Amino acid sequence: ASSTAGGLLAVGDQPLVGLDGHLFTPGDAAGRVLLAWVCVLAPTLALAGVGLLGSVVLGRSPMGLLLPAFVALAMQLAQMLPLPVAVRLALPGDAFLAWNSLFSGQVHATPLLIGIVAGLLWAVTATALAYVLFLRRDFTNPTDDGVVRRAATVGALPLVGLLGATAAVVAATTTADGTGIAQAKVEQSLATEFAHLYRMQTAQLHRPAVTEAQLRTAAACTKAGVRDGAEGAGNDWRCVVSWHLPGAAATGSAVYQLDVTADGRFVADGDGPKEVNGYFLVRTPTGDAPNPLWQFDGIVDLLAAVPDPRNS
Asked whether 85 and 176 are in contact (CB, 8 A), the reply is: yes
Asked whether 20 and 106 are in contact (CB, 8 A), the reply is: yes
Q: Is 240 helix (H, G, I), strand (E, B) or coil?
A: strand
Q: Which of 4-18, 42-56, 82-96 has the lowest mean pLDDT?
A: 4-18
pLDDT tops 70 at residue 185: yes
Strand boundaries in the chain, DSSP class E: 16-17, 23-24, 218-223, 234-244, 251-260, 265-270, 281-284, 287-290, 295-299
DSSP state of 91: S
pLDDT tops 70 at residue 143: no
Give pLDDT tens digits for 168-184.
999 999 988 899 999 99
Q: What is the pLDDT of residue 251?
A: 92
Q: What is the pLDDT of residue 9?
A: 79
Where do the structural domains in the chain lie, given as residue ranges?
2-173, 183-311
Distance of alpha carbon 101 from the chain centroid: 6
pTM for the whole structure: 0.85
Q: What is the pLDDT of residue 152?
A: 60
| CB-based contacts of 232, cutoff 8 Å, min separation 6 | 82, 179, 181, 223, 260
Give pLDDT tens digits for 247-300.
888 899 999 999 999 999 999 999 989 889 989 988 888 888 899 999 999 999
Q: What is the pLDDT of residue 15?
A: 86
Cα 117–166–52 angle (5° rounding)?
65
As a whole number, the mean pLDDT across the chain is: 88
What gap in Å lies between CA 266 and CA 233, rounded to an integer? 9
Q: What is the pLDDT of residue 65?
A: 80
pLDDT tops 90 at residue 306: no
DSSP state of 279: S
Give pLDDT tens digits for 198-220.
999 999 898 999 999 999 999 99
Q: What is the pLDDT of residue 57?
A: 80
Give pLDDT tens digits for 26-44.
889 989 999 999 999 999 9
Q: What is the pLDDT of residue 302?
A: 92
The residue ranking higher by pLDDT, 250 or 147, is 250
Confidence of residue 141 (pLDDT cuts 50, 70, 90): low
